Amino acid sequence: MHAIIRWIRADLRARRGQALLTVCVVAGVVTALILSLTLLAGALDPWEGLFNRSHGAHVWIHARAGTDLAPLAHMNGVTAESGPFRTAVATAVQEGQRAPLEVRALGSRLPDVGRPILAKGHWLDPSRPDGIVVERTLARVLRIDVGDRLTVHGLDGARHDLPVIGVADTSDQGPYPAWTPGIAWVLPQELTSIEPTSSHTELLEGLRLSDPSATGFIVQQVVTTLGGDHVDRVSAWPQVRASLEVDSRLLGLLLGMFGVVALVAAALAIGNATGGRILSLLQDIALLKALGFTPAQIRWMLLLEQTGLGIAGVLAGSLIGSVLTDSSLSHSLFGSVTENATAPLSFGRLSLIAAATVLAVAVATLLPAWRGSRVSPTSTVSAEPPGGRLSRFARAALLMRLPPALVLGARDAFTRRLRAVMTVGGLAIPMLMVTIALGCWSTLDNFENHPEQIGLAGALTARPVGLGGDEARALIAHDPGVKTVYPEAEVDALLPGQTRTIQARALGSSQAPYPFPVRDGRLYRAPGEAVAGQGLLDLLHVHVGDRVRLTISGVPVIVHIVGRTIEPTLSGEVLSFGMDTLEQSVGTSPAQSYSIVLRHGAKPDTVRSRLLRESGDRLDIQATQNPAQRLGIVRVVIFGLIVVLTLIGAANLLTATTVGLRDHMRDIVVLRAMGLTPRQVTTTLVTGTSVLALIAVVTGIGLGLAMSTRLIDLQGRSSGVGAGIGRAPTVFDLVVAAATALVLAALTAFALARKASSIDVRDVSRV
Amino acid sequence: MRSLLLAPITGAANRTALINRQRRHLINLMRGLTEPAAERDNPIAVLLVEGARSHLQAGLDWLQRCQEEPA
Amino acid sequence: MSRAETTEDAPETAMIRVKNLTKVHHSDGTDVHAIRGIDLVVHSGEFVAVMGPSGSGKSTVLHLLAGLVPATGGEIWLRGRRLGGLSEAERAVLRRRHVGVVFQFFNLISNMTVADNVELPALLAGAGPKQARSRREYLLDELGLTDRADAPPTRLSGGQQQRVALARALANEPSLLLADEPTGNLDSTNTRDVIRLLEKVHDQGQTILLVTHDVRVASAADRVISLFDGMIVDDAAVSPASGAASSIGSILDL
């Protein structure tokens, strides 16, 4: 309808600032949603992005040298093939670390199917004939980068020092060291140099299928076609994908929660803004009705205006979000934080986010629009004067000669209840969420700074290579940076009912136990006692204090669970006891590795290189992985969320202050007539808003502190890691947040008050 | 006009009739004044008309006060 | 002319016909009887002034005739159409085509320019933007306000605002123009301008019913209806007084 559009156009022109802010808030929320869902998708399903970008092969076949692989390409269901490539087995040795290697010969042109994706440096190049490109997870474990030299030992023992010219990702197999051997690529001539005996090489071929679900069938076909004795190994994409999955529950819930929270907060902000706007429009709406607008038209008008702004915001946010998550850009922005490259969201998912946001905006506008349409066309709306008498408190304050402007301002804050509620609510809720977000940040900081509190007291793990157990232990304990050494063995324990196995960890001894962070119960003290992670307790449906019967290496063992620890690995489904428990039940078994707890202040890298030197490279020493690194993307999301919440808080503040100001218009004239100077008038307004902001900040932070640790522990418990990981935000963080909010509130009030105090008396009194 | 003040003695119904008659008279007087359009060019005449109008308005307002006053 | 109209007139010819109208406000537990039974007929082309003390129900009558509020009892026929059976939306549609309303305050949409304000009723009634624009240009020109077309209402003086409000009310060539104290806030000169405007459209055949306490406005009307305590107490035609007693001199000597 022309009339409706005319009104909307005029209204938007009249309040450009507020409209722009609404669009920004919506755009911010949509961008945040796109980012978090992209990262979520990348974290939950890192394989998919990688597979698509590498145009991956569904099946990989390792066949004996000389096998005729031609028939594979013509098999039913195969759409494309990759290779065949020659591969050779070798060992990489780097700073005492040995890594089994599969070296693949590829040309300088990347294949179409199963293409390695270059992350750093460049690909194989004839100008560097001995250049080697290393797969990324292998490079990370070996701690090598482009420009370093990698020592490769061939099967024949020959040693090759190859310059690393690039690092690449592949979707062929899971991450090293979970999946061995590590992968590296060289030019064919170099492969021949590493492995001159051609019968020691293998052929590698990848197949891309038209129907990925038919993988099992195809694999059978391949083995049949080539002959079982020619096929060494076949791997299929489901295995690769499974190995790339991160512990998704915690992450998924966190990110999902943030997304929903952002949407809800934005909806509240917009509802608030619309409600506030409509309050100031009541007079106009009455007149519109007098002109002949029906209530339905009024509703449509308001809804259309807000939804239009929402759509503009969604489009802007979608554009920004898409640009940010575009492969190359997101890789440089987030690649350092995520382990795997992220894939941009599909169009379908983007549309879903867009639709959900527009819907949220529309719903948030419904109630204010409906209330607005109910205004009587004959009402002459004037701001309700504040309720009457000065309270005793205010009177006393005035008597005490407190500045009247401050007293009036503070009193004014409470007499207009609607405005007070709007201001407090609009600021307290974002404050609450910011506090929870800061709590998550602190928790992550705690993971990094105090790994012993989440069960990662041992900063290093050593595996002896060609060294006796006692000798290894003595050598490690001798190091000045080492505090304690705990022998460790991991065994599979069969659950009662023979349904599945769980990881049982023998660590230290019962007399000198590993410093597990026990949250319920106590640490084991005698053989036969154990502690378990929350995940295990849930799995076995037992509680601390129960006894469990397991079968280890065929021997039934009864274990008394005396405590619950925080268990960050394997979703908490781990049972831990002393080595002597293992010896007692199953018999003596040598320690597989040694967990090393360092002295306070000792640096893991220094101790590691020292131990490597001392042991003559006969110890394989790895640093324990901290989940905080894996959860690095959560930090990005937290930061983004705090930005969005700040935007929302600012929008709410603007709304509340504008509404409050409108009420004030007439008061300003009266106040000035009473003799208050313009500065005092401004102070009145600023004080009013600041008092309310203070209440909001205190309420928000208070509630947030109460909820934050509890929520995080809830997440921890449900993910199996266990309750007790939550940490409250630091005092510094809270002070900064509170100060920012208060300053923002005061500034907003000040800016608007300045504008108001210069309003011409005539304009106001005519109204 | 004076008869109006005697109205409480004469009775409410009559009072209403009296007020009505006086009102009609005042309005008709005003109508009579504004008919001639020539006055607009003459500032003195405009002032005189304005003066007359003030009187008539005052009369009307006073009538209204009388009307509001309960018997 | 005498008071109540004869009922021989068929309802269709009268612009407004009101029968036994009552309106009760319910607020804070007490009932306020704003209108206590009014019968009224207004013919097309008549200029009617409604007078009365505050609380007599003058504004309420206006609101009821415009269909802004529903009546508690009785019937109103507007151009032969019964208002009682209509919903709020239906009354709004009727109003947009056939009734122009001018209030004492808050006559203009605050966030729209003068031009937008005057064009809005035409757009609302279904006219195209070009049609609305030409009508607006004509009206503002007639009022001498063309130069203020793009100004926001707050930049206009009181008199200018009321003139624009009148332009807006007349934009759709309504059958009935209703005004509530249109000169209440204006000074003498502006009052004169507005009266002249009203007389002009009246000459063109516009039916006008307005509430006023100003003697000049009342004297410009064809008929003055007086309300008191929710009922009509007088309904008389206006005719210029003549005779010696009606000269300025005798008035001033009063």
Lowest-confidence range among A13-27, A445-459, B37-51, C4-18? C4-18
Q: Give the residues across from C102 on adjacent strands.
A: C179
Lowest-confidence range among A394-408, B18-32, C104-118? A394-408
Residue C25 domain flag: no
Enumerate residues 166 to 195 of chain C having a beta carbon within 8 A of any beta carbon in chain B: 188
Give the confidence band of C6 by pLDDT, cuts at 50, 70, 90. very low
Asked if the model's pLDDT at residue A386 lies above 50, the reply is no
User: Is C63 in CB contact (< 8 Å) with chain A?
Assistant: yes
Peptide bond into A177 cis (omega under 30): yes
Residues of C in contact with B53 (CB under 8 A): 215-216
- What are the pLDDT digits (tens) for A192-248? 888 888 888 888 998 898 888 778 788 888 888 887 778 877 888 877 776 666 555
Instruction: For the beta carbon of residue B34, count every other beta carbon within 10 angstroms.
Output: 18
- As a whole number of Å, the CA-based R_g of chain C is 19
Give the confidence band of A250 by pLDDT, cuts at 50, 70, 90. low
Mean pLDDT over all residues of chain A? Answer: 80
CA-CA distance, A510 to C237, in Å (whole number)?
114
Tell me which residue in A15, A295, A380 faces C105 most closely, judged by beta carbons.
A380
- Four-CA torsion C203, C208, C212, C215, nearest 10 degrees: 30
- What are the pLDDT digits (tens) for C56-87? 889 899 999 998 889 999 999 998 889 988 98
Residue C49 CB-half CA count within 13 A: 27
User: Is C95 in CB contact (< 8 Å) with chain A?
Assistant: yes
Interface partners of chain C (CB pairs < 8 Å, 3 or more) are: A, B
Count of all residues that appear for chain C in the document: 254
User: Is C187 in CB contact (< 8 Å) with chain A?
Assistant: no
User: Is A127 in CB contact (< 8 Å) with chain C?
Assistant: no
Say if residues A194 and A154 touch (Cβ distance below 8 Å): yes
Lowest-confidence range among A37-51, A147-161, A574-588, C186-200? A37-51
Asked if the model's pLDDT at residue A412 lies above 70, the reply is no
Query: Once rounded to an integer, what is the mean pLDDT over residues A65-81?
Result: 84
CA-CA distance, B35 to A317, in Å (whole number)?
69
Q: What is the pLDDT of residue C209?
A: 96
Whole-model pTM: value is 0.65
A721: phi then psi, degrees, rounded to nearest 5: -65, -40
A435: region left, alpha or beta (phi > 0 left; psi from -120 to 50 alpha): alpha
Residues of A in contact with C99 (CB under 8 A): 292
Q: What is the pLDDT of residue A182?
A: 87
Tell me which residue in C51, C219, C252 faces B31 most closely, judged by beta carbons.
C219
Asked if the model's pLDDT at residue A471 lies above 70, the reply is yes
User: Is C226 in CB contact (< 8 Å) with chain B?
Assistant: yes
Q: Where are the domains of chain B?
A: 2-68
Give the amino acid at A19: A
Q: Residues A124-130: contacts with CB within 8 Å, 24+ apart? A: A124/A165, A124/A166, A124/A185, A124/A186, A124/A187, A125/A165, A126/A187, A128/A163, A128/A165, A129/A187, A129/A189, A129/A190, A130/A160, A130/A162, A130/A163, A130/A186, A130/A190, A130/A193
Give the amino acid at C98: H
Residue C208 domain flag: yes
Asked if the model's pLDDT at residue C2 lies above 50, the reply is no
Contact between A294 and C97 using a beta-carbon 8 Å cutoff: no
CA-CA distance, C237 to C18, in Å (whole number)?
19
Lowest-confidence range among A58-67, A70-79, A388-397, C42-51? A388-397
Q: What is the pLDDT of residue A43?
A: 61
**Which of B31, B39, B57 is the best residue to mutate to test the C interface, defined by the most C CB atoms within 10 Å of its own CB?**
B31
Residues of A in contact with C107 (CB under 8 A): 287
Q: What is the pLDDT of residue C245?
A: 64
DSSP state for residue C222 in the 8-state scheme: S
Residues of C in contact with A288 (CB under 8 A): 109
> What's the domain count of chain C?
1
Query: Which residues span the domain enclosing C211?
Result: 45-67+88-237
Asked if the model's pLDDT at residue B30 lies above 70, the reply is yes
**Which of C47, C234, C251 is the best residue to mutate to test the B interface, defined by the most B CB atoms within 10 Å of its own CB?**
C251
Give the confidence band of A323 by pLDDT, cuts at 50, 70, 90. confident
CA-CA distance, A488 to A590, in Å (whole number)?
9
- As a whole number of Å, the CA-based R_g of chain B is 15
A125: phi then psi, degrees, rounded to nearest 5: -145, 130
Enumerate residues 365 to 424 of chain A having a beta carbon within 8 A of any beta carbon in chain C: 376-378, 380
Asked if the model's pLDDT at residue A101 lies above 60, the reply is yes
CA-CA distance, A725 to A572, in Å (whole number)?
13
A157: region left, alpha or beta (phi > 0 left; psi from -120 to 50 alpha): left
Query: Once rounded to an integer, what is the mean pLDDT over residues A80-91?
Result: 88
- The single residue listed with the structure tokens 């409108």 is A662
Q: What is the pLDDT of residue A367?
A: 83
CATH of the domain at C117: 3.40.50.300
Nearest residue in chain C measured CA to CA from A295:
C89
Residues of C in contact with B26 (CB under 8 A): 215
Residues of B in contact with C218 (CB under 8 A): 27, 30, 60
- CA distance to partner chain A, nearest, from residue C250 (Å): 38
- As a whole number of Å, the CA-based R_g of chain A is 33
Say if residues A561 and A531 touch (Cβ distance below 8 Å): yes
Contact between A766 and C158 using a beta-carbon 8 Å cutoff: yes
Lowest-confidence range among A293-307, B1-15, B31-45, C83-97? B1-15
User: What element of type H or E holds A203?
Assistant: strand A202-209
Residue C134 domain flag: yes
Query: Once rounded to an integer, what is the mean pLDDT over residues A380-402?
Result: 53
ipTM of this complex = 0.84
Give the amino acid at C126: G
- CA distance to partner chain C, nearest, from residue A14 (Å): 6
CA-CA distance, A609 to A621, in Å (whole number)?
9
CA-CA distance, A222 to A245, in Å (whole number)?
27
Residue C29 domain flag: no
Give the confidence band of A419 by pLDDT, cuts at 50, 70, 90. low
Residues of B in contact with C226 (CB under 8 A): 20, 23
Q: What is the pLDDT of residue A344?
A: 64
